[in-house]
Amino acid sequence: MLVIVGLGNPGTKYEKNRHNIGFMAVDAIHRRHSSFSPWRKRFQAETSEGTIADEKVILLKPQTYMNESGQAVGAAMRFFKLEPSDITVLYDELDLVPGKVKIKVAGGSGGHNGIKSIDAHIGKDYRRVRLGIGHPGSKEHVTGYVLGDFAKIDQDWLDPLLDTVADNADLLVKGNDGEFMNRIHKAVTGKDGAADAGPASPARPGSKSGAPGRSHIRQARPKAKPDLPKEGPLAAMLKGLLGPKDSN
């Protein structure tokens, strides 16, 4: 059994906030997969049970407000006699550009109060799906930014991201995190994200993006050596500095 948690704040006032992208992602999964039951309230949360990739899955949206999200997650984990490794949490990440997704197990909270609360209730050894919303540019603007609604232009990346999360929830259930992230990257940017999964990721067959791990700027640099003067004072000076010209 896997519990997939989406973080957010309850109520219509907050439903379109950037801080509620975790709720939005779990709602998208619920809509896409017909096996899930209607939402019901328990564990201080809204929950729904269903099946993805032959695995029983509980979708959970804490209704305690963000800062106390761990109460609901902890209650559900204890009720179903699960381990932190059975918990996957989807939430907003300021330190990722809009539409970018990163997955990790354990680690710090990054200042996210919902994650801090879950850490306090169940420990840190659960999977975190960080959904990038971008940063407003200064710490003073963070609260207003995350509690503000997504702008109309954000739908260009937000809708493909949510659709792809829902369509590929089976990869999340199976633990195929690399392919899950790659498909979201491709849906949001139109580009293959295999080389973006980490420094050790090889380029995908047929990729036109160049060697893995190199930026487009580095690839664009000319490889040919510049022409140097062969005669005259400047040539003599360069020969003294660089040594005899390489025969190759």
Distance (Å, whole) CA 220 – CA 164: 32
Which secondary structure element, helix H or strand E, spans residue 241, and what is its range? Answer: helix 233-242
- Give the CATH number, domain containing residue 69: 3.40.50.1470
CA 197 to CA 45: how far, in whole Å?
A: 33
**Unique residue bearing structure tokens 């971008």:** 134
pTM: 0.76
Q: Is residue 215 part of a domain?
A: no
121 in active site = no
Q: Is residue 153 part of a domain?
A: yes
Tell me how far CA of residue 47 lies from CA of 4, 29, 36, 101, 224, in angstroms: 10, 13, 10, 24, 62
Q: Is 83 inside any structural domain?
A: yes
Residue 225 resides in a domain:
no
Asked if residue 231 is part of any domain, the answer here is no
Spatial strand order in the sheet of 55-62: 40-42, 45-52, 55-62, 2-6, 87-93, 127-132, 101-105
Q: Which helix (H) or strand (E) holds 169?
A: helix 169-174
Alpha-carbon span 55 to 30, nearest angstrom: 15
Work out how many domains the chain is built from and give that number: 1
Is the residue at 33 inside a domain? yes
What does each of the 248 residues of the chain score in pLDDT, given as a tens digit?
A: 999 999 999 999 999 999 999 999 999 999 999 999 999 999 999 999 999 999 999 999 999 999 999 999 999 999 999 999 999 999 999 999 999 999 999 888 887 889 999 999 999 999 999 999 999 888 889 999 999 999 999 999 999 999 999 999 999 999 999 999 999 999 998 877 654 544 333 332 333 333 333 333 333 333 444 455 566 655 565 555 555 544 44
Give domain status of residue 78, yes or no. Answer: yes
Is 195 a member of any domain?
Answer: no
Could you list the residue range(s) of the whole structural domain that residue 12 is in? Answer: 2-175
